[in-house]
Structure 1
């Protein structure tokens, strides 16, 4: 018999080792299958060894039985190796990932046939066994209807592939989980809470199951909702435009699809007579269903910052009462404290150092506080914006795009300022500034600064000299100019910048 040959044993052993190594490389965590084949291979080698021992030692009469066992184990090992090569290596490479139940059915039928052939080799009447087994099977089927229903459900789920491993599904009770495994009797779901749900297969077939984010011909995306309320003082059009501009602005929020774009809708008006607000919702399409709450949090952060910048407060219950000791003295103290904070921020700006106390106060009263959430663009390169940012909290990154390549130039941390060229000359933004943390700033607008320059036109020359020095010093990092050349360059840039400031603020005509 061929399976009792040492050559055959060597070929099967080498094939097993190569196949096991390939399986481990493809599926590092799938050791259960390799251990099963190893058991069959070792049993086969032991049977072959017993066969040759019985031939060498006549007193040990196990030649026939060891030959039959070698035949059975040799075929089992070969079938296991063949199924691994076919179902785990070749077919997946060709793009055909068959359900695991197909492999198990193939092996199950093969084992039954091999056991029958082996028993026939020993002279056992397999016909009577088959008849007896049919009777026993009928009895068991009556007593195990529920289990058989689950088994049939598992076969149906894997063959029609309506639910696949990796799908996110929602059960009728509202629980959600990712399909990790479809077994004969049940399906294993893993939730976001690191819990495991065992669902009988018959229940999946009988219930209405929602497969999250799955749509024919479309990428895996699941629509999410973030609700908020704003009172009736602000029109729905203004609220929706403000929110959509923020959530659609680059850079896009991590985990949100760009197609369809996130949007904002007015869902309803309060139906309670004592309430006065409208209910809104931000709708977006989630690309990684695992990260639902973290992405919701990012959306809320950007939403909150956008509403803060637009001075749109979130609605509070009409019955809410705030009790605070308030009088003229307390209000004046708060106003002075805020004004001092703003003046302190303005004094950190080098080219404003020559301002008087009253001029600092004038500018401070005109500052607008703004909030940006992490990841938002505060400034975008080449945009036109006639204001300066004074950063009091947070950290930003500076990015410059040139020749279709975007590179990070530096990081800036509070307290600092940026955007001075837009304020003083109207020049387009020279870089993109992105919030690396939540950032609080003040905006200093051209209109607020206009009166000071018209009252003190000579100040334009001082500012142009300071800005020119900063620009040339920045260029000097690359050019390494000598001191004389650097001074000459500052004079040239200063004159050019003075003309721009004068034109921009209308000083030349005065």
Structure 2
């Protein structure tokens, strides 16, 4: 027998071919089906190659006459080969076969069963080598007790992680709150649980801490989608009735299409407390994406602020004693004059006020009310009765026609345009819905503010009616899909003029 045959006969144990074939076949399956585990597979196969090389080295030792060393090395690398096969089988079962059968098992369970497999394989090899296991078991029990006593915290973390996985207290992907830490669970390991916060931090919490302390799983309720209720606080002066504040804010939040705010359960507004100089309110809404809490809160606050501004409700400021001097009055007069001039400049660009004199424009400008809207706000609702019009100064809005067959976007209103003129001039219900496409700034003109002008110069009604007819004809053309409205221009002009005079009491 030559040297190579002697080394091979000792090194390559019975069944080595089946072992190599099984390892390569399972590794190939995992490589194709589990791309995320390819790095682990490479390390495992590298270790397996070392085992094969170790067997060859043990054969070399045997050839050189070092029989005892050769036997020890041979047994060590056979055990290592078995560990590789057990590891690959565990990955195949827990990461391919069980998920294919729609059975979700915790990663710790895989690790524990694989380790148990290692121990059983080691005991089998020891028994095969002729070693008495009873003495080993007795000695191991004593050693285990000593190790368990000295590693209480570590074992507590391991058992805690296993308990968390098995009873489904938390799962990867859950949002939890532990003391002052809020984040998303990204990994549950033997010793600890990893949580990623919104501040781009990863917090490592020992599993024993989670088992001993209270923690909250956010947005989780049996049989319900993932939603988390948020509170947005604000204060309003005592002079404003709570019922009015709640109605205004609820209407604004519920009607607006705000990203990441659930439609059901509906947002609501409640009065929560009495402060020294104001009432404390809160808007409660349900967040659909727990990773974006502060930006969504900010958007909700913007809608609250805009709704209160439109209702001429100011947020309270801290009270204090302020001494005013004569120069302050002059400054206010200058500021008011500049604001009025700016408003008059805006009005001159609007067709509706094209024939107004400077004095009339000044009167209208002084009576305009600032009315901001936030993107997604419903500025006016089809069918609603509202005796005012809006003049856009910043932003864009969409005109939507609601019907039984669905909603149709008719046009986009840009800065410098106006809408709601039929409601202010004739009292007619809104013919379309207007939704803020961006953040919008408007001026609102009420019927009462316009009434004194039209009463002093009734002829202005006829001039305005011609403008209204042109806009109404354009709307009818879009609604009906024809080039002309149902009424002739003359008939429509007469009809609208009569309605304006009747609405403002100009008919005898």
CA contact (8 A) 2:469 2:496 kept: no
The aligned counterpart of 1:19 is 30
**What CA distance in whole angstroms lies between the structure 2 residues aligned with 1:143 and 1:8?**
39
1:225 maps to 2:231: yes
Decide which of 199, 205, 216 is 1:210's aligned counterpart. Answer: 216
Q: Secondary structure at the match of 2:338?
A: helix
Shift of 1:401: 4.3
Please show how residues 410-489 of structure 1 align to structure 2 within 5 Å: 410-453=411-454, 456=457, 458-469=459-470
1:169 maps to 2:181: no
How many residue pairs match? The answer is 491
Shift of 1:429: 3.6
Please show how residues 349-388 of structure 1 align to structure 2 within 5 Å: 349-388=350-389
The aligned counterpart of 2:272 is 267
**What CA distance in whole angstroms lies between the structure 2 residues aligned with 1:503 and 1:479?**
23
Please show how residues 18-417 of structure 1 align to structure 2 within 5 Å: 18-24=29-35, 30-31=36-37, 34-44=38-48, 72=79, 75-172=82-179, 174-251=180-257, 253-270=258-275, 275-319=276-320, 321=322, 326=327, 329-401=330-402, 404-417=405-418
Shift of 1:269: 1.9
CA contact (8 A) 2:381 2:432 kept: yes
Q: Secondary structure at the match of 1:434?
A: strand
Q: Which structure 2 segments of 5+ residues have no match?
A: 1-12
The aligned counterpart of 2:491 is 495
Shift of 1:465: 3.8
**What CA distance in whole angstroms lies between the structure 2 residues aligned with 1:425 and 1:2?**
101
Shift of 1:74: 5.7
Shift of 1:166: 2.0
- CA shift in 2, pair 1:14/1:405, >3 Å: farther
Q: Secondary structure at the match of 1:291?
A: coil
Name the TM-score, length of structure 2 as normaliser: 0.83
Q: Secondary structure at the match of 2:435?
A: strand
- CA shift in 2, pair 1:18/1:382, >3 Å: farther
Name the TM-score, length of structure 1 as normaliser: 0.82
**What CA distance in whole angstroms lies between the structure 2 residues aligned with 1:163 and 1:452?**
68
Q: Secondary structure at the match of 2:292?
A: helix
CA contact (8 A) 2:58 2:71 kept: no
Shift of 1:180: 1.9
CA contact (8 A) 1:346 1:364 kept: yes
| Offset from partner CA, 1:184-228 (integer Å, 9 cap, x none) | 122222222122222222221111222222233333222222222
Shift of 1:279: 1.8
- CA shift in 2, pair 1:133/1:323, >3 Å: farther
**What CA distance in whole angstroms lies between the structure 1 residues aligned with 2:139 and 2:409?**
78
- CA shift in 2, pair 1:71/1:406, >3 Å: farther
- CA shift in 2, pair 1:317/1:331, >3 Å: closer
- CA shift in 2, pair 1:504/1:122, >3 Å: farther
Shift of 1:104: 0.7
CA contact (8 A) 1:229 1:277 kept: yes
CA contact (8 A) 1:369 1:443 kept: yes
Shift of 1:357: 2.2
The aligned counterpart of 1:27 is none
Q: Which structure 1 segments of 5+ residues have no match?
A: 25-29
CA RMSD in angstroms, aligned pairs only: 3.7
Which sits farther off after the overlay, 416-425 or 448-457? Answer: 448-457
